[in-house]
Amino acid sequence: MLAAICFDANGLVPAIAQQHDTGEVLMMAWMNAESVRETLATGRVCYFSRSRGKLWRKGETSGQAQHLKDFRVDCDGDTVLLLVDQEGVACHTGRRNCFFRAPRAGVLTEIAAPLVSPKALYGHD
C-alpha cells in the first residue's frame, strides 16, 4: 500500500476526509507513512501534525474521532481520500467541516456557525 503513495519531499501526502455516507467533505490534513500504517491497522484515523511535528490521532483531545470506512489513493498517488464516520465535528473551530467560508457579494463570509465551542472541545478558545 505505501508503495502506491507518492509522499512529498517532507514525507507527507495530503489527505481529504469525507463523510462516508453523505459525501460531505470534512477536512484536509497531512499523513506520513507512519500515520497511514496506523490508520489502516486500527481503523481510527491518524494524521501527521506539521505544527506539532508528531502524529495526531483525530479526536485524541476533542473526542471528535474519525473511524475509517475506506482508504483510497488517487490516480497519481499524490493524494489520499479517507472515507470516514465522523464523531461530532471535524473542525477545530467547532464546525461540522473546515470549509465554512465562501465568497458572498465579493466578501469571504462564514456560511456555517459553530455547533460546539472550541472551549468545550479543548478547554480553551
pLDDT of residue 125: 62
Statement: residue 123 has pLDDT above 90: no
pLDDT band at 66 (very low <50, low <70, confident <90, very high): very high
Where in the chain are the domains? 2-90
Overall pTM > 0.85: yes
Chain centroid offset of residue 102 CA: 19
Per-residue pLDDT tens digits for 69-100: 999 999 999 999 999 999 999 999 999 999 99
- Superfamily of 2-90 according to CATH: Phosphoribosyl-AMP cyclohydrolase (3.10.20.810)
For 1-27, the pLDDT digits (tens) are 899 999 999 999 999 999 999 999 999
Could you tell me the three cell numbers for 62?
476533542
Is the predicted pLDDT of residue 124 greater than 80, yes or no? Answer: no
Q: Give every strand in the sheet of 13-19, ordered side by side.
A: 25-31, 13-19, 80-86, 66-73
Nearest one of 122, 42, 123, 114 to 82, comparing CA atoms: 42
